[in-house]
């Protein structure tokens, strides 16, 4: 019985974590899309992050 309860709790926790992850990335994606659009509208695309593209060269 304890084991079953433990399993149920673990499953609940995992489900909650999955939902948190899903919500976060859903929000991030929507925000990134909106910000990218706003940048494009103003002709101010983001300059690539400093180490992006560069770190590959070093490694």
Residues that bind another protein (CB under 8 A): 14, 17-18, 20-21, 24, 27, 31-32, 34-35, 38-39, 42, 44, 46-47, 49-51, 55
Written as one string, the DSSP assignment of 17-56 is HHHHHHHHHHHHHHHHHHHHHHHHHTT-PPPPPTTTTHHH
CB 17 to another protein: min, Å:
5
Q: Can you say how many angstroms the Cα of residue 17 is from the centroid of all Cα atoms in its chain?
A: 13
CB 7 to another protein: min, Å:
14
C-beta of 8 vs 20, nearer to another protein: 20
């Amino acid at each position: 019985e304890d084991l079953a309860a433990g399993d149920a709790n673990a499953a609940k926790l995992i489900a909650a974590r999955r939902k948190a992850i899903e919500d976060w990335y859903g929000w991030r994606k929507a925000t990134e899309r909106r910000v990218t659009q706003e940048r494009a509208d103003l002709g101010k695309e983001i300059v690539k992050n400093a180490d992006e593209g560069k770190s590959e060269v070093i490694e």
